[in-house]
Structure 1
Amino acid sequence: DGGRREPLGLAQREQRNRWGLAFLVALLVVVVAKLVVLQGVDGAPYAQAAENDRMKIYPIAAVRGAITDRDGRPLAYSVDAERVVADPTLVEDPARTALALTTLLDVPAAELTEKLSAETRYVVLAEQVSTEVTGRIRALEERQGLFFEDDPVRLYPAGAVGGQVVGFVGRDGDGLAGIEQRYEDVLSGTDGEERVEVDGRGNPIPSGIDDTVPAVDGSTVGLTLDEDLQFVVQQRLDAACADGFTTTASAVVQEVATGKVVAMAGCPGYDPGSYNTTDPELLGNPVISEVYEPGSVMKAVTLAAAVEEGKARADTVLNVNGHIQAGDVVVTDAHDHAPIDFTVTGILAKSSNVGTIMLAREVGDSTFERYLRAFGLGSTTGIELPGESAA
């Protein structure tokens, strides 16, 4: 009996061995297949993920172009500053680091400690910090986990002078009003970036990869404004708005020969450097955005139409009363008067409302409208400022 059992035991062992071998072969096939997938099919994404872990990208901000007056005097320009950020996972002692930074950044230590202890890889500690201060931070022993990003400061040295024309930029550095907005593409430039290989603690590896795409700085935009004349105009407007009777006033000064605008302002104005604390209702340029009644300027348009259409000549005489019915209102001259003989030239010289209406009626409504449009009423001038309303 014993002799018959032994062959049976050997057969069982051989069968178990075959099953074990088959299992090992199957396991090996699975491992090899997984390796093939990792290396061949999914290799690129995993390699990219590994590279991303060891590469850190630092943005390089383009320096925004300046805005100058006609003589090159700056009305807006940018200075270097930096944003101080941190990777809390790399900060060994948040409280100690916060204590070292609190005076330099003028941020409470408790607030810094909370940020440096956050469960995230990126926190902003302070913005628009001067390069002198960030240089001192770089020299700290506790700078582990701290990083710096370009964060320029926009300055307006003339303050409110020309502010409504120059406009301002938002916190992200994009133009939100005036020339800053109109010439955003010219002023902003193109940001660059620096890709640096870092170790497990986030520190740059001296001999590692360091690829830099330099920023392309913005261009300067020169205006036709004259800063000195602009200052005088705004002084006069401010005085007018402070008389207790005037609420708003505007003025435009142009060169007669070229039509160039050398001063433009309205009151009340604002300082672009303090736009975020200014009443939003004041953050525009009323000279171009608000609609005004043309007033006596229309007399020149009306008389031009009458003369051009042959309805009158400069020396044509009209008997002009002191008042006239126009629709459902009675229009008078500056002072009501008995009928007076005025030449067409006299109507313009005396700014006679009644005489002007008489000439407009001679021209006719449809013809008069054609002249109004020919003179540009109802259309924009195309001035290089945003928000212009039709005249």
Structure 2
Amino acid sequence: MDSSHPKLNSSTANSSPFTKHISRQERHRQKTQQQGVPVVRLLLVWGFLFVAMGGLAYRLYRLQVVEANQLQRMAKAQQSTSMQPYVPRRSIVDSQGNVLATDRLTYTLFVHPRYFEATKEITDPTDYIARELSAILGDITPAQLKEKFKEKESGIKLATGLNESQAVRIGSLRMGGVDLEKQYSRYYPQDEMAADVVGYVDGEHQGQAGLELSQREILEREVETYAIRRTGKGVVLPDSLPDNLLQSNDWQVQLTIDMRLQRAARELLKAQVAQQKAKRGTVLVMDAQDGAILAMVNEPTFNPNEYYKAKVEYFKNWSVSDLYEPGSTFKPVIVALAMNEGVLKPEDRINDSGSVRVGPWTISNASKSGAGMINITQVLRYSSNVAMVAIARRLKPERYYELLQGVGLDSRTGIDLPGEAASYLKPRQSFMDDPIEQATTSFGQGLSLTPIKLLQLNAMLANGGKLVTPHVVKGLVDARNHLHWQPDHPVKQVVKPEVAHSVVQMMESVVSGDGGTGKAALIPGYRVGGKTGTAQKAGPRGGYLANAKITSFVSILPVDNPRYVVVAIIDEPKGANAYGGTVAAPVVKNVMEALIAIKGIPPSQPQ
């Protein structure tokens, strides 16, 4: 049977209609399967793309429309910042350009013991760093430094105010855990020489005394805030920096103080205070023509570079802040006021009996004796209290009080230093009703003033009767000493020029006349006017202290062409022979000699 069926060869099978039909169906099915897979995938891809594009479009809408303003603010905040550059305080210089105060770069030293690392050469870094820093700092031992290293692991402040040389030496150690921080600090090259005038700034760079406090507005320059742009990493873009970022005028605050005279006055005062074992002292020198202070020194004083080591009371300039009874140095002022009123003439003679009764009180001369009939020049020469009471009685009480107010005996001088005290005058009614007040005021008791006020009143006599404003600030100058600004100072005419000149000539006899109390201030070849003062010190609860007095001397130089006024006050000198003529006058003489040499004052013409 098998043989009866014809055999199909491959060619026959392939060519049969049935086989062809099956093959077409298979191919169609396979083709259909092959074409169906890409369509699904394509639909999925396109669907994903459409969804993503829709999301991006929505996000773009949110960013560019809904959140646009907020994002712009955030971008601006990130890409820009405000910058306030450091601008140093103005330097302070004296009348000759010598620097008295300036800002300089200093360093603060920190250590971080946790980062101390040993090397092949240094097996004990703690000991090595302690020894090296001790040698550089100089005021602390290695053992003390090691103890400080134990305080905490990081951020130990060891020193402040280090100079450039010390910073370089510390940097050369190249040791981990040692850090230097730059900062600016105030430096006073003259140390204590001008401390009473200049003052000091504290650790926060804020003025706390002297001109650093009172003249803060001109010492602190205006600082502008600049808006600059930066990258996302915080790097400043150079093209965003303003052209005038670092531009600042180089003006300095120039004073009327002459450091040559200031230094001489301080050394002389310091020596006298020590010799007399006094509580304190002050020396003031003024140009009477305009009120410029050429020297102002107090003793004891402080070093502004190390203000934290000084007693707090030294920061107060007592020549402007403390009141005292001037005693006989006030007598020339009363004489000038009486002459200006026309109730007294230079040729008038007054009987000095040695004592005078005022109500229940008896007023005597310091010598306890009288000089008889004396003229006004002799009244000042012998410093007669009795004669001064007689002069005061020539003035009507009400007018007398007005005259005292007219020369500022109840106000301040207006000096450009902080803490000035106003002079004290008894209330009007008390003064007018009580004759003893009128009497004691005539010889400088019963009223109080500051040393700077006494200087101003005597300058009034020297300059022809004008009440000028004492001041230490000359103005703002540039590096070439060109003056760009100067303050205005009021001037008030209170005494006729001829009266003031007459009183100055009378004061000359105090120094050069027979029996004058100020002979210790005599300078050969120069006409010097002066007045001594030895006053009892008022007690805190009224009355006067038994064993305390304040000695003073005021001088005018030269009498033939009055220009300069010098005041010296020594508070509570010890010893039996402690008077204005023996304690204060010698200091004034030496200061005047220095003034003559510095200013080149020629000898007086022979009379």
CA positional deviation for 1:112:
7.3
- Match in the other structure for 1:70: 95
Distance 1:111 1:235 in 2: 45
CA positional deviation for 1:218:
6.4
Distance 1:42 1:198, change over 3 A: closer
Distance 1:229 1:139, change over 3 A: same
- Match in the other structure for 1:43: 71
Q: What is the percentage of aligned positions where both structures have the same residue?
A: 24
- Match in the other structure for 1:264: 296
- Match in the other structure for 1:223: 255
CA positional deviation for 1:342:
1.8
Residue deviations 1:45-87, cap 9 Å, x none?
A: 64466558xx7x876421222211111111222222356799x
Whether the aligned pair in 1 keeps the contact of 2:116 and 2:175 (CA below 8 Å) is no
- Match in the other structure for 1:233: 265
Is the counterpart of residue 255 in structure 1 residue 297 in structure 2?
Answer: no
Distance 1:45 1:259 in 2: 58
Q: Could you say what secondary structure the match of 2:422 adopts?
A: coil
Query: Residue 287 of structure 2 aligns to which amino acid in structure 1?
Result: E
Q: Could you say what secondary structure the match of 2:155 adopts?
A: helix
Whether the aligned pair in 2 keeps the contact of 1:321 and 1:338 (CA below 8 Å) is yes
Is the counterpart of residue 175 in structure 1 residue 207 in structure 2?
Answer: yes
Is the counterpart of residue 322 in structure 1 residue 354 in structure 2?
Answer: yes
CA positional deviation for 1:310:
2.8
Whether the aligned pair in 1 keeps the contact of 2:265 and 2:283 (CA below 8 Å) is yes
Is the counterpart of residue 284 in structure 1 residue 316 in structure 2?
Answer: yes
Whether the aligned pair in 2 keeps the contact of 1:224 and 1:262 (CA below 8 Å) is yes
Whether the aligned pair in 2 keeps the contact of 1:169 and 1:177 (CA below 8 Å) is yes
Is the counterpart of residue 356 in structure 1 residue 388 in structure 2?
Answer: yes
- Match in the other structure for 2:155: 115
Give aligned pairs, total.
346
Structure 2 matches for 1:1-391, cutoff 5 A? 39-40=67-68, 42-43=70-71, 46-47=74-75, 50-51=78-79, 60-82=85-107, 95-96=115-116, 109=149, 113-115=153-155, 127-130=160-163, 133=167, 151-191=183-223, 197=230, 205=235, 211=241, 213-214=245-246, 216=248, 219-326=251-358, 329-338=361-370, 340-391=372-423
CA positional deviation for 1:43:
3.3
Residue deviations 1:3-60, cap 9 Å, x none?
A: xxxxxxxxxxxxxxxxxxxxxxxx99x99998789824643564466558xx7x8764
Distance 1:185 1:300, change over 3 A: same
Distance 1:147 1:247 in 2: 44
Distance 1:282 1:218, change over 3 A: farther
Query: Residue 102 of structure 2 aligns to which amino acid in structure 1?
Result: Y
Distance 1:41 1:78, change over 3 A: closer
Whether the aligned pair in 2 keeps the contact of 1:62 and 1:215 (CA below 8 Å) is no
Whether the aligned pair in 2 keeps the contact of 1:128 and 1:153 (CA below 8 Å) is yes
Residue deviations 1:264-316, cap 9 Å, x none?
A: 11111111111111100111111111112122232222222322333232112
CA positional deviation for 1:179:
1.6
Q: Could you say what secondary structure the match of 1:43 adopts?
A: helix
Whether the aligned pair in 1 keeps the contact of 2:231 and 2:237 (CA below 8 Å) is no
Query: Residue 334 of structure 1 aligns to which amino acid in structure 2?
Result: A
Distance 2:71 2:160 in 1: 40
Distance 1:48 1:227, change over 3 A: same
Residue deviations 1:96-140, cap 9 Å, x none?
A: 599799867978555674339xxxxxxx89754545637975996
Distance 1:50 1:198, change over 3 A: closer
Query: Residue 255 of structure 2 aligns to which amino acid in structure 1?
Result: L
Distance 2:74 2:173 in 1: 37
Whether the aligned pair in 1 keeps the contact of 2:79 and 2:231 (CA below 8 Å) is no
Residue deviations 1:136-165, cap 9 Å, x none?
A: 75996969xx8965x212221211112101
Whether the aligned pair in 2 keeps the contact of 1:159 and 1:273 (CA below 8 Å) is yes
Whether the aligned pair in 1 keeps the contact of 2:79 and 2:229 (CA below 8 Å) is no
Distance 2:304 2:295 in 1: 17
Whether the aligned pair in 2 keeps the contact of 1:241 and 1:249 (CA below 8 Å) is yes
Whether the aligned pair in 1 keeps the contact of 2:88 and 2:220 (CA below 8 Å) is yes
Distance 2:100 2:238 in 1: 43
Q: Could you say what secondary structure the match of 1:153 adopts?
A: strand
Whether the aligned pair in 2 keeps the contact of 1:115 and 1:125 (CA below 8 Å) is no
Whether the aligned pair in 2 keeps the contact of 1:325 and 1:331 (CA below 8 Å) is yes
Unaligned runs of 5+ in 1: 1-26, 117-123
Query: Residue 269 of structure 2 aligns to which amino acid in structure 1?
Result: L
Residue deviations 1:199-257, cap 9 Å, x none?
A: 77xxx648788747437366311111111211111112112221354111111112355
Q: Could you say what secondary structure the match of 2:101 adopts?
A: strand
Cα RMSD of the aligned pairs, angstroms, is 4.4
Distance 1:292 1:198, change over 3 A: farther
Distance 2:64 2:74 in 1: 13
Distance 1:342 1:269 in 2: 44
Distance 1:336 1:137, change over 3 A: closer
Q: Could you say what secondary structure the match of 1:152 adopts?
A: strand
Q: Could you say what secondary structure the match of 2:201 adopts?
A: coil
